[in-house]
Structure 1
């Protein structure tokens, strides 16, 4: 069995474009298993943005664990938030996405200090045709809010654990 030495949660991993945020388990749509979630710098926050201006159901944007698949579905439907995130080039990486609800909850548990405490952050997980899941980091609450509310969004990316370097 190979041993992997992991950095401390919150550590800046410049080669990966952000901070070590969380470890998640389980297969994602892209076939990945266990992975590290890399959180972009706070300067990459998209402020005062809506999830969507329209109250429509976005097919494929309802995974609670796979933000990458959700963001792809949102972008395919033309949602500006997803298109803005997918267009990012941060630290030489272009695979940023809007985290799913469970990914945001994991970040709330491990690195809440990387986020604005009193602000709500959008997840890519749609709750219904009119709302999507959000996370606040001050006290760790998750809730579904109207897609036309204006909250923050923080891009993340995933790195396979065996490729994570300290």
Structure 2
């Protein structure tokens, strides 16, 4: 295995369409175990978004770690927030998604400066028919809050660690 030259957390990685946010363990979409999260530029952030306008269970959107699967389930169920994120083409990349709860917590730990400190952010992780997980970037707390609250949403994408070589 060759050595990797990983950028600093928060560094802009233009070829990947955003900022290097975190390294996570688990099955990435490309089949590798470890992956990096790329955080979209602040201009792609969605303000005053609801997770859902009505309370209903979204089948397949309850993973705490699989943001792409959650976002796909949300979009398939017709949820506007997920459809808006899945339609993004940023930096030539179209694989953006709403991060799962664990991914958002990792970003809170590594790059809180990339997010508004006074606002909550939606994750793609559903808690129940009425609640979804959110993340606060000022204090680092997570909570399940009503899906019809208006919070911010920040798209992310997964990349292989090798893609971060500078």
Deviation at 1:31, TM superposition (A): 3.3
Partner of 2:125: 125
Deviation at 1:32, TM superposition (A): 3.7
Partner of 1:107: 107
CA RMSD of aligned residues (A): 1.1
Distance in 1, Cα, partners of 2:3 & 2:15? 21
> Any conservation in 1 of the 2:36–2:159 contact (CA below 8 Å)?
yes
Q: TM-score, normalised by structure 1?
A: 0.97
The 3-state SS of whatever aligns with 2:5 is coil
> Any conservation in 2 of the 1:18–1:41 contact (CA below 8 Å)?
yes
The 3-state SS of whatever aligns with 1:125 is strand
Moved over 3 A (4+): 28-32
User: What's the CA shift string for 1:34-86, capped at 9, x where partnerless?
Assistant: 10000001111100010001111001000100101100000111100000000
Partner of 1:55: 55
**Residue segments in structure 1 that go unaligned for 5+ positions in a row:** none
**Residue segments in structure 2 that go unaligned for 5+ positions in a row:** none
Q: TM-score, normalised by structure 2?
A: 0.97
> Any conservation in 2 of the 1:22–1:110 contact (CA below 8 Å)?
yes
